[in-house]
Structure 1
């Protein structure tokens, strides 16, 4: 995921949020993002507006004979926190919300 200063975003192989994670698809494409105030603090709202590719994560963990088609557009909401070194982190929860499984994004440093 690349978040640009002008509010545009590039998404590569990003899994679904909450129960959508269980379907096993990964979306790629372009969209927009913005920093907003959420219930528990600041959040990054990411909108995939143009899907360019769908990949699958195996094994799929969804139950049932058929999973729905991957969406052509999608929205994520990442919580904004600080790690133990005070660096910013973005994460969302996946699967059953009661399980507390976090999908944490790491920042790639410039080379």
Structure 2
């Protein structure tokens, strides 16, 4: 995921958030992002507006007829936090929100 200063974004192989994660798709494409403040803290809102590639995390989900059609557009809400070294950390919850599984983005060095 690349977040550009002009508010545009490049997404590559991003899994679904919350219960969408269970569908097993991965989306790539372009879109937009915005940093917002709400009661729970800062959130990065990411919107995929043009899907360029669709992948599956596993062969079973690619052929399973009960799996819903992957979306052509999608949105995510990444929580913003700081780690023990005071570095920014973006994450969202996946699966059942009550369980608290987190999908944490890592930063590529030199980027």
- With structure 1 as the length reference, what TM-score do the two structures score? 0.92
What residue ranges of structure 1 are gaps of 5+ in the alignment?
none
Distance in 1 (alpha carbons) for counterparts of 2:60 and 2:81: 29
Kindly tell me the number of residue pairs found equivalent between the two proteins: 109
Compute the displacement of 1:98 (Å). 1.1
The CA RMSD over aligned residues, in Å, is 1.6
Runs of 4+ aligned residues of structure 1 deviating over 6 Å after TM superposition are none
Q: TM-score, normalised by structure 2?
A: 0.92
Match of 2:12 in 1: 12
Structure 1 position 39, deviation (Å): 3.0
CA, structure 1 residues 3+68, in 2 after alignment: closer, same or farther (shift >3 Å)?
same
Structure 2 unmatched ranges of 5 or more? none
Whether the 8 Å contact between 1:24 and 1:59 is mirrored in structure 2 is no
Task: Tell me which residue corresponds to 1:71.
Answer: 71
> Counterpart in 2 of 1:80?
80
